[in-house]
Amino acid sequence: MSDSSSNQPSSGAPLERAAELIETATQARLRAQAQFSQFKVGAALLSSQGQVFSGCNVENASYGLTMCAERVAIFKAISEGVTEFEAICVVADTQTLTPPCGSCRQLIWEKCGDIPVLLANLRGDSRQFTSGQLLPFPFDRSSLTS
Ligand code: THU
> For residue range 60-80, what is the model confidence (pLDDT) as tens digits?
999 999 999 999 999 999 999
The answer, yes or no, to whether residue 139 has pLDDT greater than 50, is: yes
pLDDT band at 146 (very low <50, low <70, confident <90, very high): confident
The answer, yes or no, to whether residue 7 has pLDDT greater than 70, is: no
Residue nearest to atom 6 of ligand 1 (CA): 100
Ligand 1 site, residue 101, Cβ cutoff 6 A: yes
The answer, yes or no, to whether residue 94 has pLDDT greater than 90, is: yes
Catalytic residue list: 70
Ligand 1 site, residue 67, Cβ cutoff 6 A: no
pLDDT band at 11 (very low <50, low <70, confident <90, very high): low
The residues near 71 (Cβ < 8 Å, ≥ 6 apart) are 55, 103, 104, 107
Q: Helices (H) and strands (E) in the chain — how many of each?
A: 4, 5
Residue nearest to atom 3 of ligand 1 (CA): 68
pTM: 0.93
Shortest-distance atom of ligand 1 to CA 104: 6
Residue by residue, DSSP assigns 65-85 as G-B-HHHHHHHHHHHTT---E
Shortest-distance atom of ligand 1 to CA 101: 6
